[in-house]
């Protein structure tokens, strides 16, 4: 990671000694660690927006369990990758967690390599996802500035239609289409048709104008 | 009776022939008491005594010896004479205070001619006593007093004269003068003849044997005279002119209808002289029929008997008269006592020789030479013997009665003992009785076999003690001995160690029996062999332990995931800490401070892990029950820690409310932990389906009365139907899919073994509470007089709640 700011690992475990040990291990790998004794405490303290982060959660905790927290975070559209730490042979819980999008599932006792590798992956993924999310947000912002006619034109261009086909589709002249097309290109800050198609892919293909 | 002269001397028979005027047959009856009969002699009225004479005699009392002159017409060798003299002398001597001087002169006219000797004798006496006149003259006569009278009258006119003796002569007082008195006996011929006829009624002839001397004639004449009174009752024949040899021959051939009456023989027809008693002996020895006589001596030589004169009586009576004279009595006022009665005396041997009936003897008869019958001789011995025999007989009868009673009692006793033996044998009930005074111990057969003794072995209390298991001995001995001392009922259980190594369990009950002074004299009781019961109990107990253990293991299975988690936590922490430490150490510079913290944490977590394992092992291990004083709160805390993970998984909170006053109990830690574990797991189970907010378990420890502690496990679940509140304690009843249905059953048996109870109840608002109680104090051990606590608790855990 050549990120200027180290990624943050949120560690939630009700067992003091386990929590302290894991925190030390994660810390030794160069991450920031924020440890919580319960999911409730974590939720009450958040939200957390400072860079890439992941969650290391004990599945079995009094009060809100790891899975409960996962559900709540999902509902809150908090998309930190979650690494579950679980006791021996807790297969149904693991499956459930993985289906809900857990990054990894590490049995106790935890091997440092497993955990750290998993954290690294999670953090990387978190960083990537953050970057992608940021790009889409920019593109979407640009797209939001398009007029409805421009949006329609962009969508049809992205589908690969020729100007005259678009003019026919829209019931307008080819020339008008050309103007719109140029404006779209400008507004979307793309240079080529191919670039435009890629951007449209990213923000989706609005078949209908977004209003 | 005197026997002198019977062998060594000739008996003197004395007497003077008399015409017998004073004696009529009527007087000659046998009269017992002669002394009262005093015959007054007519002439005694003429007697007087001078005052001077009396004065002289009194003067003699003052110191001078009393001089008594005894004059006898017979010889002193005649037993009769000496007997009379001796008796008279002893009477006088006994009555006289001062000295008495006796002089005696004997004429012996019976055997020697009187005519020549009398003048010589007279002169001799006259010369001899002229200068020393006597104070008293005693004239001892058996024939005639004439000669003596002459001496007295002419030579000693002032001396008082006492006559004594036997005579048939009329005593002429004029010959003596007035100074005379005395005692004179006459022969009783009639009485003797009457005796003959009485003893021998068949006698038709009496042969009277007599001598030829003048003296002999005197007595024969008396016989003739008296025989006339017999009339024709019997023929009387007189053999007086025969020689001794003829007599001896003739008497030998007399027939049985004849009796012989021997009078006297001083001289026979041939002129030979005899002492009459000697002659009598020769006749008696040869006679073919019984011989009778009139003087005492004849009885002694074998005659049957007769109404005889007794010389001793004559001497004594005359002596008494002399004493009266000496003591100053007036001679004049003392007439001569003439005694005619004689005493019937018999020779017992002769009587029996002739086969005579003793019953025919007159009353008052004197029997001589009686060989007393055993009865007479040993009457008192016999009586005493008979008494002893009677007493012994009574005693023996008593003893026999007692013995038969005893036997009956013994039989009853044996019977009841048999019944007892039967009953005790059938029930294998040991009985013992210990005598505290002798130390003896009786035991019945079953007890012998219980104690491992053979039938013959002698048994003492120490032997019984030696059979008690060494571990119990001291306790049992003190109970035994205090029971013997206090006499209280005692009861205990103990183990026995038999010589063959076998061990037995017995129940002993006993008491002491006291005597009238309230001291215990013996102890007794029963011994019940409880080995089989104990073994069954122990087996059941082992099985219960077994099942209880299995149940714990199975509970552990249920808890496995949770336990694994509990163990995994510290292991996780340790591993992560260790790996972090490695990283801190390779850093540059190494973060040693953190490493130090890490190591501290590792140690703590290691300890934590081992604690989990310890708790686990404590529950899983298979131990012999061990009772101790326990902190119930500690036990509950440990169990809560053990299931902590499970509770967390199901989001159940467990809280403990402990009364500070009561949380110590007497019990077995593992088993109580098992109960708590079961109850908590059940409570968690009841809650896991419920809403998260109600997942609370509250455990309360509170005192229950003085001696118990109550634990209440309260949950907020759905409770249970009322009809299931008891059913849950039945074996194999379960509501869980994976449950064995033994948890509560075993829990209840454990609690009951602890003297408590376990029950369930629904809460008024929500959920249920399961309660159990445990004793606070040590259970009492077997104590004298109280119901003993069993040494091993018995519990039923199968089949019945």
The alpha-carbon gap from A10 to the nearest alpha carbon of chain B, in Å, equals: 16
pLDDT, position B206: 92
d(CA B128, CA B299): 39
Touching check for B688 and chain A: CB below 8 Å?
Answer: no
> Which residues of chain A neighbour B598 with C-beta distances below 8 Å?
21, 24
> Which residues of chain A neighbour B569 with C-beta distances below 8 Å?
15, 17-18, 108
Residue B177: is its pLDDT beyond 80? no
Is the residue at B262 inside a domain?
Answer: yes
- Among candidate residues B642, B728, B717, B718, the one with its CA nearest the CA of residue B677: B642
Same domain, B416 and B450: no
Nearest CB to B584 within list A28, A62, A90: A28
User: Do A24 and B594 count as a contact with CB atoms less than 8 A apart?
Assistant: yes
Q: How is residue B440 annotated by DSSP?
A: B
Q: For chain B, how many structural domains are there in total?
A: 5
Residue linked to tokens 């091993």: B792
Q: pLDDT band at B62, cuts 50/70/90?
A: low
Nearest CB to A20 within list B583, B584, B601: B601
- Among candidate residues B265, B366, B228, the one with its CA nearest the CA of residue B307: B366
- What count of other Cβ atoms lies within 10 Å of the Cβ of residue A43? 17
In degrees and rounded to multiples of 5, residue B761 shows phi and psi of: -150, 150
- What count of other Cβ atoms lies within 10 Å of the Cβ of residue A173? 13
Has the ipTM of the complex gone over 0.85? no
Is the residue at B479 inside a domain?
Answer: yes
* Mean pLDDT on A24-46: 88
Q: Specify the DSSP element, H or E, that contains B554.
A: helix B531-558
DSSP secondary structure, chain A, as one string: ---SS--EEEEE-S-HHHHHHHHHHHHHTT-EEEEESSHHHHHHH----SSSEEEEEES--SSS-HHHHHHHHHHTT----EEEEE-TT-HHHHHHHHHTT-SEEEESSPPHHHHHHHHHHHHHHHHHHHHHHHHHHHHHHHHHTS-HHHHHHHHHHHTT--HHHHHHHHTS-HHHHHHHHHHHHHHTT--SHHHHHHHHHHH---SS---
- Among candidate residues A117, A144, A153, A136, the one with its CA nearest the CA of residue A202: A136
* Mean pLDDT on A66-92: 78
Residues B335-366 pLDDT 10s: 888 888 788 888 888 888 888 888 888 888 88
Touching check for B650 and chain A: CB below 8 Å?
Answer: no
Tokens describing residue A188: 């979307």
- Among candidate residues B50, B54, B111, the one with its CA nearest the CA of residue B78: B111
- List, in sequence order, every residue forming a beta bridge with B513; answer none if it has no partner: B522
Distances, alpha carbon B788 to alpha carbons B511, B761, B784, in Å: 16, 33, 8
- Using CA coordinates, name the residue in chain A closest to B650: A62
Residue A7: is its pLDDT beyond 80? yes
pLDDT, position B53: 41
Residues B286-342 pLDDT 10s: 999 999 998 888 888 889 889 888 888 888 888 988 888 888 777 777 888 888 878
pLDDT, position B5: 36
Mean pLDDT of chain B: 79
The alpha-carbon gap from A77 to the nearest alpha carbon of chain B, in Å, equals: 25
Q: Helix A163-170 vs helix A174-187: angle between axes, to the nearest 10 degrees?
A: 110
- What count of other Cβ atoms lies within 10 Å of the Cβ of residue B438? 9
Same domain, B238 and B112: no
State the best of A17, A19, A33 to mutate against chain B, taking most chain B CBs within 10 Å: A17
pLDDT, position B623: 66
pLDDT, position B3: 41
CATH number, domain containing residue B444: 3.30.450.20
> Which residues of chain B neighbour A85 with C-beta distances below 8 Å?
572
Touching check for A21 and chain B: CB below 8 Å?
Answer: yes
CATH number, domain containing residue B551: 3.30.565.10
- Using CA coordinates, name the residue in chain B closest to A18: B573
Nearest CB to B575 within list A20, A28, A109: A109
Same domain, B58 and B207: no
User: Do B580 and A21 count as a contact with CB atoms less than 8 A apart?
Assistant: yes
> Which residues of chain A neighbour B577 with C-beta distances below 8 Å?
20-21, 24-25
Same domain, B632 and B728: yes
Same domain, B757 and B653: yes
- Check: CB of residue B671 under 8 Å from CB of residue B627: no
Residues B426-451 pLDDT 10s: 777 888 888 888 877 888 888 888 88
Tokens describing residue B757: 């109870």
Touching check for B601 and chain A: CB below 8 Å?
Answer: yes
Domains observed in chain A:
8-133 (3.40.50.2300), 145-203 (1.10.10.10)
State the best of B580, B592, B645 to mutate against chain A, taking most chain A CBs within 10 Å: B580
Residues B718-729 pLDDT 10s: 888 888 888 888
- What count of other Cβ atoms lies within 10 Å of the Cβ of residue B716? 22
> Which residues of chain A neighbour B584 with C-beta distances below 8 Å?
24, 28
Same domain, B476 and B420: no
Touching check for A68 and chain B: CB below 8 Å?
Answer: no
Q: pLDDT band at B759, cuts 50/70/90?
A: very high
Touching check for A18 and chain B: CB below 8 Å?
Answer: yes
Mean pLDDT of chain A: 82
Could you tell me how many residues make up chain B? Answer: 801
Touching check for A43 and chain B: CB below 8 Å?
Answer: no
Nearest CB to B568 within list A29, A65, A108: A108
Same domain, B511 and B449: yes
DSSP secondary structure, B404-424, as one string: HHHHHHHHHHHHHHHHHHHHH
* Mean pLDDT on B235-252: 90
Same domain, B556 and B450: no
User: Do B573 and A63 count as a contact with CB atoms less than 8 A apart?
Assistant: no
Is the residue at B789 inside a domain?
Answer: no
Using DSSP's 3-state secondary structure scheme, residue B64 falls into coil
Q: What is the 3-state secondary structure (H, E, C) of B198-241?
A: HHCCCCCEEEEECCCCHHHHHHHHHHHHHHHHHCCCCEEEEECC
Residues A163-210 pLDDT 10s: 888 888 888 888 888 888 888 888 888 888 888 888 888 777 554 444
- Using CA coordinates, name the residue in chain A closest to B586: A28
Same domain, B163 and B285: no
DSSP secondary structure, B557-598, as one string: HHTHHHHHHHHHHHHHHHHHHHHHHHHHHHSSS--HHHHHHH
User: Do A21 and B574 count as a contact with CB atoms less than 8 A apart?
Assistant: yes
Tokens describing residue B245: 């040899």
The alpha-carbon gap from B655 to the nearest alpha carbon of chain A, in Å, equals: 15
Higher pLDDT, A101 or B479: B479
* List of residues 6+ apart from B566 with CB closer than 8 A: B612, B641, B642, B644, B645
Residues B619-666 pLDDT 10s: 777 766 778 888 888 889 888 888 887 887 788 888 998 887 777 888
Max mean pLDDT range (A42-51, B151-160, B243-252, B421-430): B243-252
Tokens describing residue B330: 């007036």
Same domain, B180 and B281: no
d(CA B135, CA B137): 7
* List of residues 6+ apart from B554 with CB closer than 8 A: B740, B742
Touching check for B253 and chain A: CB below 8 Å?
Answer: no
pLDDT, position B779: 52
d(CA B639, CA B274): 150
Is the residue at B799 inside a domain?
Answer: no
Burial B753-777 (b: 16+ CB within 10 A, else e): bbbbebebebeeeebbbbbbbbbbe
Q: Is A64 left (phi over 0), alpha (psi -120 to 50) or beta?
A: beta
- Check: CB of residue A96 under 8 Å from CB of residue A70: no
Residue B557: is its pLDDT beyond 80? no
Nearest CB to B569 within list A18, A27, A115: A18
Touching check for B645 and chain A: CB below 8 Å?
Answer: yes
Report pTM.
Answer: 0.46
Is the residue at B767 inside a domain?
Answer: yes
Residues B505-518 pLDDT 10s: 888 888 888 888 87
d(CA B271, CA B655): 166
Q: Specify the DSSP element, H or E, that contains B182.
A: strand B180-185
Same domain, B59 and B134: yes
* List of residues 6+ apart from B385 with CB closer than 8 A: none
Residue linked to tokens 């003197």: B12
- Using CA coordinates, name the residue in chain B closest to A26: B580
Residue B788: is its pLDDT beyond 50? no
β-bridge pairing B653-658 and B696-704: parallel
Give the lowest-confidence range in B8-12, B146-150, B278-282.
B8-12
d(CA B686, CA B702): 23
Same domain, B714 and B647: yes
Residue B792: is its pLDDT beyond 50? no
* Mean pLDDT on B556-583: 85
* List of residues 6+ apart from B264 with CB closer than 8 A: B13, B15, B210, B211, B215, B216, B219, B276, B279, B295
User: Do B580 and A17 count as a contact with CB atoms less than 8 A apart?
Assistant: no
> Which residues of chain B neighbour A40 with C-beta distances below 8 Å?
none
Q: pLDDT band at A211, cuts 50/70/90?
A: very low
Touching check for B594 and chain A: CB below 8 Å?
Answer: yes
Touching check for B580 and chain A: CB below 8 Å?
Answer: yes
* Mean pLDDT on B760-769: 88
- Chains A, B: CB contacts under 8 A, how many? 88
- Check: CB of residue B549 under 8 Å from CB of residue B536: no
Touching check for B641 and chain A: CB below 8 Å?
Answer: no
Q: How is residue B42 annotated by DSSP?
A: G
User: Do B573 and A60 count as a contact with CB atoms less than 8 A apart?
Assistant: no
Using DSSP's 3-state secondary structure scheme, residue B179 falls into coil
Q: Which domain holds residue B68?
A: 27-34+43-186+328-339
The alpha-carbon gap from B555 to the nearest alpha carbon of chain A, in Å, equals: 19
The alpha-carbon gap from A117 to the nearest alpha carbon of chain B, in Å, equals: 14
User: Do A22 and B568 count as a contact with CB atoms less than 8 A apart?
Assistant: no
User: Do A88 and B575 count as a contact with CB atoms less than 8 A apart?
Assistant: no
Is the residue at B579 inside a domain?
Answer: yes
d(CA A83, CA B104): 178
- Using CA coordinates, name the residue in chain A closest to B574: A21
């Amino acid at each position: 990671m050549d990120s200027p700011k180290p990624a943050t690992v949120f560690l939630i475990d009700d067992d003091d000694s386990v929590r302290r040990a894991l925190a030390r291990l994660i810390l030794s790998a160069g991450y920031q660690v924020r440890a919580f004794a319960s999911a409730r405490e974590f939720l009450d303290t958040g939200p957390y927006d400072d860079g890439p982060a992941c969650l290391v959660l004990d599945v079995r905790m009094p009060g809100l369990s790891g899975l409960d927290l996962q559900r709540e975070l999902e509902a809150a559209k908090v998309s930190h990758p979650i690494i579950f730490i679980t006791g021996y042979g807790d297969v149904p819980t693991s499956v459930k967690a993985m289906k809900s999008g857990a990054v990894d599932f590490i049995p106790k006792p935890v091997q440092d390599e497993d955990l750290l590798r998993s954290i690294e992956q999670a953090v990387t993924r978190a960083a990537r996802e953050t970057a992608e999310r940021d790009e889409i947000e920019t593109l979407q912002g640009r797209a939001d500035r398009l007029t409805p006619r421009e949006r329609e034109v962009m969508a049809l261009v992205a589908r690969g239609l020729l100007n005259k086909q678009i003019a026919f589709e829209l019931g307008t002249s080819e020339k008008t289409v050309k103007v719109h097309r140029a404006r779209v290109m400008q507004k979307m800050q793309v240079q080529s048709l191919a670039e435009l198609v890629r951007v449209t892919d990213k923000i989706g293909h609005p078949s209908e104008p977004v209003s | 009776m005197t026997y002198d002269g019977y062998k060594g001397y000739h008996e003197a028979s004395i007497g003077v022939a008399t015409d017998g005027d004073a004696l009529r047959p009527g007087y000659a009856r046998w009269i017992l008491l002669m002394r009262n009969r005093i015959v007054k002699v007519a002439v005694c009225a003429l007697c007087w005594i001078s005052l001077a004479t009396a004065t002289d005699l009194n003067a003699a009392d003052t110191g001078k010896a009393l001089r008594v002159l005894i004059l006898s017409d017979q010889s002193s060798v005649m037993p009769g004479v000496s007997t009379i003299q001796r008796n008279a002398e002893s009477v006088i001597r006994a009555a006289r205070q001062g000295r008495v001087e006796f002089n005696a002169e004997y004429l012996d006219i019976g055997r020697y001619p009187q005519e020549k000797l009398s003048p010589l004798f007279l002169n001799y006496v006259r010369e001899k006593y002229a200068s020393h006149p006597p104070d008293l003259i005693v004239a001892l006569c058996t024939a005639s007093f004439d000669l003596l009278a002459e001496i007295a009258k002419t030579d000693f006119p002032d001396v008082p004269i006492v006559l004594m003796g036997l005579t048939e002569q009329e005593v002429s007082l004029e010959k003596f003068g007035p100074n005379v008195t005395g005692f004179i006996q006459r022969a009783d011929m009639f009485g003797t003849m009457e005796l003959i006829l009485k003893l021998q009624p068949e006698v038709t002839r009496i042969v009277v044997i007599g001598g030829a001397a003048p003296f002999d004639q005197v007595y024969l004449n008396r016989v003739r005279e008296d025989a006339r009174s017999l009339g024709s009752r019997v023929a009387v024949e007189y053999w007086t002119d025969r020689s001794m040899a003829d007599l001896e021959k003739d008497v030998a051939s007399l027939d049985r209808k004849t009796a012989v009456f021997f009078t006297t023989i001083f001289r026979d027809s041939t002129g030979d002289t005899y002492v009459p008693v000697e002659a009598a002996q020769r006749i008696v020895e040869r006679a073919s029929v019984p011989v009778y006589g009139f003087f005492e001596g004849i009885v002694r030589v074998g005659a049957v008997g007769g109404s005889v004169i007794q010389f001793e009586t004559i001497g004594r009576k005359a002596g008494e008269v002399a004493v009266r004279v000496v003591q100053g009595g007036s001679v004049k006022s003392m007439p001569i006592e003439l005694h005619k009665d004689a005493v019937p005396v018999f020779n017992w041997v002769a009587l029996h020789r002739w086969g005579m009936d003793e019953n025919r003897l007159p009353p008052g008869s004197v029997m001589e030479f009686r060989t007393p019958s055993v009865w007479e001789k040993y009457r008192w011995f016999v009586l005493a013997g008979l008494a002893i025999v009677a007493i012994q007989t009574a005693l023996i009868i008593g003893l026999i009665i007692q013995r038969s009673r005893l036997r009956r009692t013994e039989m009853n006793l044996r019977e009841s003992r048999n019944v007892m033996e039967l009953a005790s044998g059938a029930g294998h009930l040991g009985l013992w009785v210990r005598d505290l005074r002798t130390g003896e111990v009786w035991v019945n057969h079953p007890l012998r076999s219980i104690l491992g003794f053979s039938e013959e072995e002698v048994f003492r209390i120490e032997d019984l003690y030696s059979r008690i298991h060494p571990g119990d001995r001291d306790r049992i001995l003190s109970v035994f001995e205090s029971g013997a001392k206090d006499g209280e009922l005692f009861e205990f259980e103990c183990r026995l160690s038999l010589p063959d190594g076998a061990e037995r369990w017995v129940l002993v009950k006993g008491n002491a029996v006291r005597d009238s002074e309230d001291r215990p004299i013996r102890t007794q009781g029963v011994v019940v062999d409880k080995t089989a019961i104990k073994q069954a109990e122990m087996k059941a107990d082992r099985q219960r332990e077994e099942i209880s253990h299995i149940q714990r293991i199975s509970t552990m299975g249920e808890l496995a995931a949770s336990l694994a988690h509990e163990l995994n936590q510290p292991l996780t922490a340790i591993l992560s800490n260790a790996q972090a430490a490695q990283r801190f150490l390779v850093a540059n510079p190494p973060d040693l401070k953190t490493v130090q913290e890490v190591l501290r944490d590792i140690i703590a977590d290691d300890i934590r892990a081992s604690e989990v394992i310890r708790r686990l092992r404590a529950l899983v291990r298979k131990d012999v029950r061990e009772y101790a004083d326990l902190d119930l709160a500690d036990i509950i805390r440990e169990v809560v820690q053990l299931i902590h993970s499970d509770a967390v998984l199901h989001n159940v909170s467990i809280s403990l409310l402990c009364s500070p006053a009561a949380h110590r109990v007497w019990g077995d830690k593992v088993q109580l932990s098992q109960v708590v574990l079961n109850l908590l797991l059940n409570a968690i189970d009841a809650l896991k389906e419920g809403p998260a907010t109600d997942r609370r378990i509250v455990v309360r420890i509170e005192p229950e009365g003085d001696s118990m502690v109550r634990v209440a496990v309260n949950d907020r679940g759905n409770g249970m139907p009322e009809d299931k509140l008891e059913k849950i304690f039945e074996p194999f009843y379960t509501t869980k899919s994976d449950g064995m249905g033994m948890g509560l059953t075993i829990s209840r048996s454990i609690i009951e073994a602890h003297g408590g109870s376990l029950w369930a109840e629904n809460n008024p608002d929500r959920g249920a509470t399961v309660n159990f109680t445990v004793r606070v104090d040590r259970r009492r051990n077997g104590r004298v007089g109280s119901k003993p606590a069993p040494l091993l608790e018995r519990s039923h855990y199968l089949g019945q709640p």
